Amino acid sequence: MAARQTENPPSDEHPLHLSPVGPLCKDRAMNAPRAGQPAQPSDLVDVAALVTAYYTREPDPENVDEQVAFGTSGHRGSSLRTSFNEAHILATTQAICEYRRDRGFDGPLFIGRDTHGLSEPAWSTALEVLVANDVTVLVDAADRYTPTPAVSHAILTANRGKVAGVDAMPGGTGLADGIVVTPSHNPPSDGGFKYNPPHGGPADSDATSVIAARANELIRGGLADVRRMPFARARAAVTSYDFLGSYVDDLPSVLDLDAVRSAGVRIGADPLGGAAVDYWGAIAERHRLDLTVVNPLVDATWRFMTLDWDGKIRMDCSSPSAMASLIAQRDTYDVATGNDADADRHGIVTPDAGLMNPNHYLSVAIQYLYGGARPHWREDGFIGKTLVSSSMIDRVAADLGRRLVEVPVGFKWFVPGLLDGSGPFGGEESAGASFLRRDGSVWTTDKDGILLALLASEILARTGMSPSEHYHSLVQRHGEPAYARIDAPANRAEKSKLAALSPDDVTADTLAGEPITAKLTRAPGNDAAIGGLKVVTESAWFAARPSGTEDVYKIYAESFRGADHLAQVQAEARDVVSAALGS
């Protein structure tokens, strides 16, 4: 069983070194031998076999691993594992049609796709069902790829003046919603399918549970109740929408691009072969920025990637291994950025620090935005973070005099605050965030990796300091945390056990020599279940939870008392997880 540990950014001398802390690695390899090295032909997925399996393999409706299941960001799987096949998409799309009809969402549906090999087949299948159900469907005008934030932006633009709040969405008023066909940063063999209701953000469990249950019912019924028409007829019936132009032209409402242009910031943007590939070139041209698209290639095998921590191809822009080629070019640009396949995540590379830890960049972004850069935001606007993000954010929030709202993992929890302006910024440790327009109105309610990547250049342009230099200032003011996340494989049963952890599973009164101040199974910001456990002391914490998007579990830990203390925290956290798994 391989596990990885993601720590604070490594030193310049060892830019890709991920060293183990404590006895974690006694029987586990931290990284695959070729992590960070270029992919070889043997690493590549057979796209033809992948697509063939999509159309030919039939899921067993009684096999839980082959059912439709929505995690924190839609249904994901692989056609080769019979977990993402035509039957899944037929059923899920029909279930979405029925859900939106029952809720009175009678406006258009925006649909976009990323560059994964399974995305276009799934997109085509979805069109056949949507149009057969008399849904007005809007697709990309250039028949190209659409980032997640561009779909969210389109939904909110269409619904402007119609949606007063997340819980105030009357039916029969032309409300639009959307679908994004993407598994985000997952390997090339995976597919993904996520639904965004009229608030523009990820669907909550009140929607996804209904959609998944109905989809599985339709599969068990042999898809008899799925309405479908031939693709040629469906494609001819859809309407074109300029996702790229609408999004790119609107960027000055949320970012000070004039400052970036005037300062001559040299930007390198790597879409990592994902849906942002056309967007970065358009941003450079339309806003006259000194911006180079580092890699404009699109290839469903992702043969140009360096391997991630476990030796797999994964478009994780927060991973030093996956971002190795861009890190190697860090001296070429003032700021270099990467995005995952649907551009809802960001990676920030600076000459002085290499790839920034996402927690570090979120802390800097919050300090900058709330510290005077956005004077038209609400003075009482809170800061949103997931409870596994760094406590540096807590210290920055306290220093700013701003209320901090700590929520479970999942961007859906930030939607209400972004929609009504009460929470101008929401971010999570996995490099996903969004924030309001400069006038305090909503921009997107889903993660926006393009936005956060460009913010790094605005910070440099307006302050004369890189984001990594700003983080160094925060460390001098608030102390330096040691933070790490450990990922390890876990099957469905093991993930269920971890999700059921309770405060009673921690019988000790201390953690790494400090009194325990909280044992949390519900988030303090909204009292929602966290699907795991967080244990807190004055200077440290750990959280254990199953992933909502991959077959792994995660242990997050942080200490403001250094790496040795972090190792103690991790050791005790592993004891809790081992007990829960019965190992």
| Phi, psi at 134, each rounded to 5° | 65, 30
From 78, 79, 152, 184, active-site residue: 184
- Nearest 5°: the CA angle 195, 197, 199 is 135
184 is catalytic: yes
CA distance 68 to 84: 8
CA distance 459 to 569: 34
* DSSP letter string, 426-450: EEETTTEEEE--TTSS---SS--HH
**Strand spans (E) along 466-525:** 482-489, 510-511, 514-515, 518-522
Residue with tokens 């692989």: 78
Q: How far is CA 162 from the centre of its chain?
A: 27
Please check whether residue 366 is in contact with residue 533, taking contact to mean a CB–CB distance below 8 angstroms. Answer: no
Torsion sign, CA atoms 456, 335, 453, 282: positive
* DSSP letter string, 315-349: --TT-TTTTHHHHTTGGG-SEEEEE-TTS--EEEE
Q: Which residues pair with 139 in a beta bridge?
A: 240
**Cβ neighbour number for residue 138 with a 10 Å cutoff:** 24
CA distance 8 to 484: 7
Helix (H, G, I), strand (E, B) or coil at 192: strand
Please check whether residue 111 is in contact with residue 139, taking contact to mean a CB–CB distance below 8 angstroms. Answer: yes
Tokens of 227: 């309405």
Cβ burial 53-92 (10 Å sphere, 16+ → b, else e): bbeebebebeeeebbbbbbbbbbbbbbbebbbbbbbbbbb
What is the set of active-site residues? 184
